Amino acid sequence: MNERAASAADTQNDAAGSELASALVIGEALVDLLPGDEHSPEGRALPGGSPMNVAVGLARLGHRSQLAARLADDELGGLVITHLAESGVELVDGALDGERTSTASATLDEHGSASYEFDLDFSLPTPDLTRVDVLHTGSIGAVVDPGGAVVRAVFEEARDRGGILTSYDPNVRAAIMGEREAVVERVEALVALSHVVKLSDEDAAWLYPQLSPSDVLLRLTELGARLALMTRGGDGALARTAEREFTVPAPAVRVVDTVGAGDAFMSGLLHAVSTPNIRRVILGGAHGSTFDDSWVDAALATAAQSAAVTVARAGANPPWPEELDRA
């Protein structure tokens, strides 16, 4: 564990029982195989996967962060395990039972945007929800079976237990998730089990091509989301509750690449909304609680700054607390 991760672990210990939530993320962890460039002509192998990136982002910001993913005891799996340890993420029991470690071969366009070709193990371990305050999932593992069935069962258990803030990021990978109608059905089933839902404008266009951005967010709240958000790249983000809509501009930053930007937005957002008071508001447990401008706007600003730090450097590399504070 490096010095930063040790500091984050100290923060977790100091905050036990206070405001920093204990988070569990369930979904894929993999290795991004990136093309060569002037600095690394042979290419790079970097740990990735949307759920794993969110778990890392939360751990770096001081939360106790557990990851329920499937890895193999191989060279690529070792890269992921080391990366998680450096940020202080804990793997749940059964995570290392995979036959192979999943990969995503990335291609970057002239704007630094990434597209992927996947080789995935679709299985996931079943985690324990004891002492979990925040439960998050997203992307391929949340939809494609057998892992998708595990995710749905875990989210149903969280709903039945009560008191756990649930969040979901569809992070659509159309080429690998299956037929659109079936994917929409599974996405909406998870939205209905989630208090916070974040998707990109590209996700929205694929899931709901007939709807405007505002109507997509309204649809998500009608399905049950208490807070629905849409990231729009350089145009910032939209959010809405059942009562009203919010906007936040994207911070000005020189973009290196967009790998992990949405995941950093997600971890920054969960960091901002996971304090006990805000959790109670979102869960509906605070008497007379309402969604007011101040905390929604602050949460959006934190999420946007977290994403801005990440796009300003290569790869999925979410911020540490001092970096987010400077931003």
Question: Is the pLDDT score of 290 beyond 80?
Answer: no
Sheet of 102-108: strand order equals 44-48, 30-34, 102-108, 114-119
Taking the C-alpha atoms of residue 281 and residue 298, their distance in angstroms, rounded to an integer, is 15
Domain boundaries, the chain: 3-317
Q: For residue 325, what pLDDT band results from cuts at 50, 70 and 90? A: confident
Q: Which of 139-143, 160-164, 308-312 has the lowest mean pLDDT?
A: 308-312
**pLDDT score at 15:** 39
pLDDT value for 104: 83
Report pLDDT for 116: 74
For residue range 62-83, list pLDDT tens digits in order: 999 999 999 999 999 999 999 9
Span 23-56, pLDDT tens digits: 999 999 999 887 776 667 678 888 989 999 999 9
Q: Which CATH number fits domain 3-317: 3.30.360.10, 2.40.240.20, 1.25.40.10, 3.40.1190.20?
A: 3.40.1190.20
Res. 301: pLDDT tops 60:
yes
Average pLDDT, the chain: 89
Would the CA dihedral through 14, 19, 306, 261 be positive or negative? positive
Report the pLDDT value the prediction gives residue 14, as an integer from 0 to 100.
Answer: 41
First to last CA, the chain: 25
Q: Using one digit for the tens of pLDDT, what is the confidence trace for 100-137?
A: 999 988 777 777 676 778 899 999 999 999 999 999 99
Q: Is 192 exposed, middle or buried (0-12, 13-18, 19+ CB in 10 A)?
A: middle
**What is the predicted pLDDT for the residue at 6?**
53
Structure-model confidence comparison of residues 37 and 99, the more confident one: 99
Q: What is the pLDDT of residues 170-186, one digit of tens each?
A: 999 988 999 999 999 99
Question: pTM for the whole thing?
Answer: 0.89
Q: Quick one: pLDDT band at residue 2, thresholds 50, 70, 90? A: low
How large a percentage of the chain has pLDDT more than 70? 89
Rounded Cα gap, residues 123 and 282, in angstroms? 31
pLDDT at 11 exceeding the cut of 80: no
Nearest residue to 16 (alpha-carbon basis) of 61, 56, 58, 64:
64
